[in-house]
Structure 1
Amino acid sequence: MSPFNKVKELAHTIKARLYDNNLREAKSKYVARPEIEGHIGIDEVIDSGIARGDIIGNSWDAKLHVRGFLRETVRLLLAGYSVNLFYFHLSPSITGTFDSPHEPFDKKKHGITIRFYIQGTLRRIIEEEARVVIQGLANTQGFIEKIYDISSGLFDEVLTPGHSIRIIGSRLKLLGDGTEEVGVFFLNALGQRFKTLEISTNKAGLLMVRVPDNLPAGFYTVGVVTQYLKGNKLLKKAHVISSPVRLEVKG
């Protein structure tokens, strides 16, 4: 069976909710955003593949081999290679500008990123097999669209303790009636909860806060706790608006 047919069997429906379209001169009222089913990693993907029969052999060996493959992929990417992985390919890219032909690369001014390009096979699968089912209007009490780590220049990937992040979304403004604690919190897998103490921008569509200095290494969900609804209106109780992805604090 070809790789294309294998993946066709795995294609499933993406559920989505509708949000207000706030773009200027927008012709349509709503935009769709996927409902994230969960956060999974290498181990979960391999366990799923073994359960389905798509991956044959020992689970431990498969996980070991995949991690080795990914390490080698990263090594080659950072050696200047463009890596074709059949469904997509990855290529290194350099950000920032240079003032002269002799200016060296400076990590304070320049950066290295990895570009992701969809290949034709995956594009055909998306066009022919993937489906989206609209689940209706979303909870309009706010959402986090993306988080920008200013120190690293990355979206939705890392948190840098002691540096600022921008939280971009809707109805995020930190506002309360004094009966409940509001703020921006960082929650890790151990259940530890850290609150930011510095907020430099507090708007409905944008929060800029300082990541606490004492965050241990690990993965974190960012939560905005607020009673803000819109204008001068408050919700009766504070609610949590959580980031759709987990962000890593590196050790």
Structure 2
Amino acid sequence: MIKQGQRGFSLLEMIAVLAIISILASAITPSLSRRISRALADAEDKSLRSIAQSIRRVAAQTHIVPGTAVGEWDIAAAQFLEIPTATIVGNKGAGTRRLISRPTNGLGGTPYDQADRFENGPLPQGTLPSAPPLEARMVLVSSLDGDPPGISLSNAQFDAVWEQEGAVPNGFAETEKLRIERINFASLFHPVTVNCLSVAGIPRWRLDVASAKSLTTGTFTVYLLVGTRIGLY
């Protein structure tokens, strides 16, 4: 019951109030949505940096650059970070992450196991890189609303994705929904020169826990991962 001196809203007043609320909502919602999207992208960038750093540290500590297939890089990163592999492959949004290596990377491909390359073949240096692996690079691609493109990238396409210049392949343009973290392994490799003047006494050398190999007369240079232990016998 409305007391004397009180009045309710008229229909026109109610319509006016609802119109104002609608206008305010339409102005606030896009702004709020954008802030949420930006916060999600920032959180994903932080996660990608952490994963990328863990992959570099795995390479520095184990002297193995992991492969890019699921079941290799994700396990290596998860073990280092001590978190489930599902949180490595799945991202902060509703999508997944993918690791891509430059096809020609100066290492002969990935995975790169330094001990295996040392032991491979008859040469004292095995198949270790003899030139600085300046193109030992990967990109960690994360799509916040789906899966990153599954296509293989050529060297030129990889470089375009890395630089975000030129003919960037479809689906690899960096946006708020498509985040990219770059991983460069080149700085982890250092040159080591071995000079053998005589084979008298059968000189040998080894890397870390790999089997020792006999040296031959001559000089060679190889690029080894930081922290490699070298034994001379």
Question: Is this a same-fold pair by TM over 0.5?
Answer: no
Structure with bigger strand share is 1
Q: Normalising by structure 1, report the TM-score.
A: 0.25
Q: Normalising by structure 2, report the TM-score.
A: 0.27
